[in-house]
Amino acid sequence: RSTLQECLEGFEVADEIEGIHCDHCKGSKTISKGIELVEFPKVLTIQVGRIDYSPIDFRREKIATNLALPLEVELPLANGETPSSDAEEGAAASPKADPHPYQLHSIIAHRGTAYHGHYYCYVRCGSATDEGTPQWVKFDDSTVTADADADEVLQYRDPAAWEAKLAAEASSAASQGDD
């Protein structure tokens, strides 16, 4: 998965587990195991697992797949449900009846390997700049950078756009060197 939306859509997909013994019927059953959001929280915290563990060779590996983080995301409704238009008038709406939009507030980043490294974070604050881009503050141990480099944040928020920008800059520098 390469976008946060794809991760969220896969979050509530249940796993089928075969061969579970049923004490009641004394037979073998297939069960469904999964997670379903009952209510949408006011503040949503998402942690994306970026370390994989292999029980075969007892090693950890850092997952290097890029993941795009949009400035706004809307949670998917459970099991593809849509708000019901024929609901009883005056009836209380289900917490899942309407989509719930969230804004990206912060990014915690890790530099290093699966065995050691350093964490730092970017926090979105204040209003957008004149160009319409949000302002970010970088927290790195005792160093706080009030106006974090937008390219640094873009590296985590939209890796494809960041890589395209680097390629364009490299191409531009190469063409200027040919002069």
Residue 122 CB contacts under 8 Å (≥ 6 apart), including other chains:
106, 107, 109, 136, 137, 138, 139, 148, 152, 153, 156
Q: What is the pLDDT of residues 56-101, one digit of tens each?
A: 888 888 877 777 788 887 775 554 553 333 344 444 445 445 667 8
Q: What is the pLDDT of residues 18-51, one digit of tens each?
A: 888 888 888 888 888 887 777 778 888 887 777 8
Q: What is the pLDDT of residues 91-136, one digit of tens each?
A: 444 544 566 788 888 888 888 888 888 888 989 886 665 666 778 8
pTM over 0.85: no
End-to-end alpha carbon distance in the chain: 42
Q: How many CA atoms lie within 13 A of 173 on its CB side?
A: 6
Collapsing DSSP to helix, strand or coil, 154 comes out as helix
